[in-house]
Amino acid sequence: MDNQETHLELTMIHEAMILEYSGSSLAMIELFAHLKQIVLYALMANVIIGIPVLDNVTVIQSVATGAIFCLKLFGIGTAHCRSGNSRRQDAAFQGG
């Protein structure tokens, strides 16, 4: 069971660590947080959906593979956002 009091304390600890920084240091922390999320999305996209195997690679195949990869990332990101929003809306309507 998820204890809301503990969840709030853990969130506050993470926010307090970030509040110690400003300017370029804060920008670097935010940049690396986003890069970590992109790497995790890329791993999920390639593990769950798979990587196409290409023989005799042409420029068109490379562009198509890159476009498919971007679509996979977009789909995973959209699913992640929708699941998070639906959980927050459910909690708001339940008074939690």
**Which residues form the domain of 25?**
4-93
Number of domains the chain contains: 1
Q: Over the chain, what is the mean pLDDT? A: 76
Report in angstroms the alpha-carbon separations of 79 from 42, 48, 60, 62, 73.
14, 14, 28, 26, 10
Report in angstroms the alpha-carbon separations of 7 from 1, 46, 86.
11, 31, 18
Q: Per residue in 49-89, pLDDT tens?
A: 777 676 777 888 888 888 988 898 888 888 888 887 666 65
Q: How far apart are CA 69 and CA 46, in angstroms?
A: 8
pTM higher than 0.85 for the full model?
no
Q: Per residue in 28-37, pLDDT tens?
A: 888 888 888 8
pLDDT value at 96 more than 60: no
